[in-house]
Amino acid sequence: MAGTSKVLDVAGVSKRFGDVEVLSDVSFQVDKGETVCVLGPSGSGKSTLLRCINWLEQPDAGQIYVSGSQVGVNRAGLVMNDRELSAVRTRIGMVFQHFALWPHLTVLQNLMEAPIQVQRRPKGEVRDEALALLTKVGLMDKQNVFPSRLSGGQKQRVGIARALAMRPDLLLFDEPTSALDPELVTEVLAVMRDLAREGRTMVIVTHEMGFAREAATRVLFLDRGRVVETGPPNVFFAHPETERARQFLQRYAGETSAGRRSA
């Protein structure tokens, strides 16, 4: 992959939990600057796919490359040790459903900890970048606040800024708005739209169909652990090719209409 624009290459990834096959021969690539939204029903393997990309779950088969480096397996073909894996993960920023902020650190300290401790970057440089990132996500005034004093939307914006602080090649979002009250979803999606406009390379697992339609460069539709359909959002939402995708979108449209009627 050296010299190409591919940031992520997932090749033949499969994963089982006991007798349940969660991912089956999943393959796709992501170019630099793409925003790929992963859609699908609950239990289709979306979150497991992200966790395999970051090697939080070890795939049973397949290979994963980020910026040309294989994730999880070293050049000798052995599973990476913690030090090797940590080095590869510095290229991957991950934003979780439930924020995963360090409660004993202030907002600013949450952003600075990993760049200083893992990347060994100068403290002054890291601080300046962290403050700029807090400005980007609209939380400069919260730099000295502890996470317990933040709303859910603010916590998730800190989580996004913390991921960006590592200067990653690839950003992974695992349903970043699913734990938020509806009125807080908008502020998080606004930050993510800005990142998409900036040309950040992102893979986003989401149930926010409006966001996927507007911000994605490509949609990846998963069902029962398989890639059923992929394509530009305008094509996927207007003219899905598969019956399974049509059923999924019809259900989404029905739930949206019901929500509007009850509002």
Best CA proximity match to 52, nearest among 35, 32, 38, 31: 38
- Per-residue pLDDT at 110: 97
pLDDT, tens digit, 9 for 90 and up, residues 163-221: 999 999 999 999 999 989 888 999 999 999 999 999 999 999 999 999 999 999 999 99
Q: Which residues of the chain are modeled with pLDDT < 70?
A: 1-4, 253-263
Q: Are 173 and 161 in contact (CB under 8 A)?
A: no
Q: Are 134 and 111 in contact (CB under 8 A)?
A: yes
Q: Are 13 and 26 in contact (CB under 8 A)?
A: yes
pLDDT, tens digit, 9 for 90 and up, residues 52-67: 999 999 999 999 999 9
Q: Are 122 and 115 in contact (CB under 8 A)?
A: no
- Per-residue pLDDT at 59: 97
- Per-residue pLDDT at 260: 38
- Per-residue pLDDT at 100: 86
In the chain, % of residues over pLDDT 70: 94
Helices and strands, counts by H and E, the chain: 9, 10
Phi, psi of 58 (to 5 degrees): -90, 120
- Per-residue pLDDT at 255: 57
Instruction: Give one DSSP letter per residue of 77-117, joined into a string.
Output: SSBP-HHHHHHHHTTEEEE-TT----TTS-HHHHHHHHHHH
- Per-residue pLDDT at 1: 40
- Per-residue pLDDT at 254: 60
Largest Cα separation within the chain, whole Å, is 59
| SS3 category, 218 | strand
Q: Determine the Cα–Cα distance for residues 72 and 78; give it in Å rounded to an integer.
A: 8
Best CA proximity match to 140, nearest among 151, 120, 154: 154
- Per-residue pLDDT at 183: 84
- Per-residue pLDDT at 259: 45
